[in-house]
Amino acid sequence: MRIAKKNEMKITLIIMVLVMTLVVTFVIVSVNFGYHEGFIGKWMKSWGLSFIVALPVVMIIMPAIKRVLSNYVVD
């Protein structure tokens, strides 16, 4: 499968958000509730909600961050 250059950043952000929310929700759910029956269900519910919130936030904020940083990047 080939990915068009114009979609590279979007796909990268989606994968990054997916991995980060999986890891963070795993840690938080395990610390707050421990490993018991129903852990996976609680974790997946937390992950789904966090992914739904985080993805649009990152898609909106990342271009703004890139614009601001481009003013300070030196070749």
With beta carbons less than 8 A apart as the criterion, state whether 28 and 45 touch. no
* Mean of pLDDT over the chain: 92
What pLDDT shows up at residue 9?
86
Q: Classify residue 29 by burial, with Cβ atoms within 10 Å: 0-12, 13-18, 19+.
A: buried
pLDDT tens for the chain, 75 residues: list them.
Answer: 888 988 888 899 999 999 999 999 999 999 999 998 999 999 999 999 999 999 999 999 988 998 999 989 887
